Structure 1
């Protein structure tokens, strides 16, 4: 299922295709390949087929329908859907049906999507690969020995493997962009407050979104799920026009700041550098000015406050039924949270917001967009990063730190950022490059992505799963 979700929805509306046929295709493809990939850890085939039949009946009746009416979409295991389990990927959380939808799920339903299963994630989310003791390892469809990254690795693997055209995802430190880079897909992290959420977790750093193959789907789905809700604690300003309007817009000549070195000094894989340079060349060919820059980033104290105080505090607050069954690294982080008092949390949060002011001021003053590798490393072998976290929680954990080296700061500042699948490693794994926009400026990122999509042809990327074990 590699077609655009927009095109599939149009085919359903025109009668060329039924939603039942599309859901049956998703079921068949999942049966064929997901035993090897393990992207979906819970299936609701019968409910999805019933929803598809209802969608087809609405078309026959001439009802008004949403822009993605009848298209299947899985929900990430960290997000609640009424009547479905929501275990946070943990043995320590009950699989009892959840009582309500998270707000983004309501938006997906209003857009017409048919909910199709739940995608795997690491336990509770703070991990750059998609592995847990409850549901096991999600593997990269491009090479099953490697990870699709995380935490939205199940979502990315489901799209890359052709099970579904798009998938729900979340991003708290790179969790949409890293899996997109690892699997040859498009991953936009929206701005803080763009997509409604009842609780702004990790100090507003976690956002909801999707992983797609086509930038047109990225734009249209963002339009569908991002209408402002002024009852919520943080709301992004509405765009001046729909995001899909940017797809065919040339826009102004931009100053693109190029960054190839990690802020932490960790090494960057040559394939990641090459992919970023290729995107830089494509942008220069379109008339943009690309120049190396050395932007100000967060201080070490601010980053450690985010990782060691803020995230750990939120993990401590995650509702476990049996916390003793959590992964060792989760238990260690929850225990670490008890060593910090509320005043230290307040200082950590205040430092982030204070530093954000000067960091955000660089956009529009020193450059318009920042261009970086998405990850400083290629996707790791499955099992390595989780084992490192569980066995050496206080160790260097270099692989994980290289994975998030270019992504996490945009979560702290709340900026939009997008990973584009513009490269391929010598070993045949996809490699992404990242564009980071100014505050609330998804429009520029969508416009730039649409302008380079034809040159790179990433919509035609297909992993070969013909020899995958059943």
Structure 2
């Protein structure tokens, strides 16, 4: 039991329920790990050890009393510092909210608690989750555990690093333009961007906005699936919340499935190191019995649609705030320039894209592609400015391989695919038909089991 902190959530939940180990022992193992490695990587920015200990004691008491327990009973979890946690500081990575303590939980937090999970703290994020590089003025930068001189990705970078280093077995993330998938790829863990509406995000100001979603992160697909079952489900406060109850598909492999492989999603620049790793994925699926075909999907319109809707959202969400950091302020300014004509054009573009991809998925069961166009980059860089010598126009452009997928209304999983020659993690993205989250997870599980890449731990 000396490696409790690297057991899976599925294993820990079973051990706790069968009283082979106590929830307090499990928590203490993770608190010890946090004390050991967090000062080096800066992933967990608010720790609530005493509160967690009380929750773990209560979890053990419930087991002892024979009470019914949830699927995550006694399992430690960390929450992204963008989601509200009642009684626990939530800064959104912004100096304006450095001392903010919400009085209620966001939906995802409440559902994890109802499933029995024990909250240990909050994970680092850039200001308001803006960008795929986890650094802010409140807590500083989160470092990649596989190379401390590199970025952990973002905006769920703190979550990904906490998972990779064994500080928690489960963490929640969020994803608008890759904020969950990118750090999973950078840190050799698993993340699922669900179909919008699977995990509801009630809002008083942007209730119909579908680009931003919340989702599960873990070290294994099995744990992501377990966590997803706890957080997915209908909520009438969200107008596009899905009523269908999520149920995982049986683990029957991928033999016979039609897999579309796109090395660059239609001509995007991809760093040669990343390309070398992701190019191994088609062979894995072929060995598993899938029918693989290289494709160039027509994602025209995704760029304009994503940027227009994102800009509109940033103005809506942050336009009345002062003292914003440069990335958030830039997005707000882009929003001020959006017109009704722009929104109409974006809606037409996204509608056409949705119908083309519906036809695409009549032919293929899943699409696989790189998650990120680059491997983890130097931590002192504000963002990636060029790929393969090609200059990029702004801080968003290097994330196109992720945010083009965001526009599709599709579930997409980031799964470890391999390492560059200098030891940096690279993930592959598995994209499915809208609403077929279970199929995506089944394919991701088969890939994970075939490669075993996710078992490689950081050298801390």
TM-score (ref. length: structure 1): 0.90
Q: Does 1:314 align with 2:313?
A: yes
Bigger shift: 37-46 or 444-453?
444-453
Shift of 1:77: 0.7
The aligned residue for residue 247 of structure 2 is 242
Distance 2:361 2:146 in 1: 38
> Secondary structure, in 3 states, of the residue corresponding to 1:303?
helix
The aligned residue for residue 468 of structure 1 is none
> Secondary structure, in 3 states, of the residue corresponding to 2:199?
coil
The aligned residue for residue 128 of structure 1 is 132
Distance 2:82 2:404 in 1: 22
Q: CA, structure 1 residues 459+431, in 2 after alignment: closer, same or farther (shift >3 Å)?
A: closer
The aligned residue for residue 277 of structure 1 is 279
The aligned residue for residue 208 of structure 1 is 214
Q: CA, structure 1 residues 459+268, in 2 after alignment: closer, same or farther (shift >3 Å)?
A: closer
Write the mapping of 1:33-432 to structure 2, written as runs, cut at 5 A.
Answer: 33-199=37-203, 203-236=209-242, 238=244, 242-243=247-248, 245-246=249-250, 248-250=251-253, 253-263=256-266, 265-299=267-301, 303-307=303-307, 309-318=308-317, 323-341=321-339, 343-344=340-341, 346-386=343-383, 396-397=393-394, 400-402=396-398, 404-432=399-427
Q: CA, structure 1 residues 374+306, in 2 after alignment: closer, same or farther (shift >3 Å)?
A: closer
Residue ranges of structure 1 left out of the alignment (5+ in a row):
466-470
Q: C-alpha deviations, 1:83-112, integer Å up to 9, x for none?
A: 222221011235221122111111111111
Q: CA, structure 1 residues 201+283, in 2 after alignment: closer, same or farther (shift >3 Å)?
A: farther
Distance 2:184 2:341 in 1: 35
Shift of 1:462: 0.5
Q: CA, structure 1 residues 177+395, in 2 after alignment: closer, same or farther (shift >3 Å)?
A: closer
Distance 2:113 2:272 in 1: 42
> Secondary structure, in 3 states, of the residue corresponding to 1:150?
coil
Bigger shift: 105-114 or 327-336?
327-336
Q: C-alpha deviations, 1:352-402, integer Å up to 9, x for none?
A: 44223323313432322111111111111112125979xxxx97137x523
> Secondary structure, in 3 states, of the residue corresponding to 1:124?
helix
Q: Is this contact kept in 2: 1:202–1:314, CA < 8 A?
A: no
Q: Is this contact kept in 1: 2:131–2:327, CA < 8 A?
A: no
Q: 2:10 aligns with which of 6, 9, 29?
A: 6
Distance 1:335 1:122 in 2: 18
Shift of 1:250: 3.4
Bigger shift: 60-69 or 201-210?
201-210
Q: Does 1:18 align with 2:22?
A: yes
Q: CA, structure 1 residues 119+133, in 2 after alignment: closer, same or farther (shift >3 Å)?
A: same
Q: C-alpha deviations, 1:405-439, integer Å up to 9, x for none?
A: 22112221210011111110011011111111011
Shift of 1:452: 2.5
Q: CA, structure 1 residues 258+24, in 2 after alignment: closer, same or farther (shift >3 Å)?
A: same
Bigger shift: 274-283 or 206-215?
274-283
Shift of 1:287: 1.1
Shift of 1:348: 5.0
Q: CA, structure 1 residues 328+405, in 2 after alignment: closer, same or farther (shift >3 Å)?
A: closer
Shift of 1:336: 3.2
Q: Is this contact kept in 1: 2:306–2:403, CA < 8 A?
A: no
Q: Is this contact kept in 1: 2:268–2:401, CA < 8 A?
A: no
Q: C-alpha deviations, 1:236-279, integer Å up to 9, x for none?
A: 3526x721x43x2236611111111244x442123322322222
Q: C-alpha deviations, 1:43-64, integer Å up to 9, x for none?
A: 1111111111111111111111
C-alpha RMSD of the superposition: 2.3
Bigger shift: 273-282 or 28-37?
273-282
Shift of 1:219: 1.2
> Secondary structure, in 3 states, of the residue corresponding to 2:21?
coil
Distance 2:227 2:209 in 1: 25
Residue ranges of structure 2 left out of the alignment (5+ in a row):
none
Q: Is this contact kept in 2: 1:262–1:376, CA < 8 A?
A: no
TM-score (ref. length: structure 2): 0.92
Distance 1:348 1:27 in 2: 51
Distance 1:196 1:260 in 2: 32
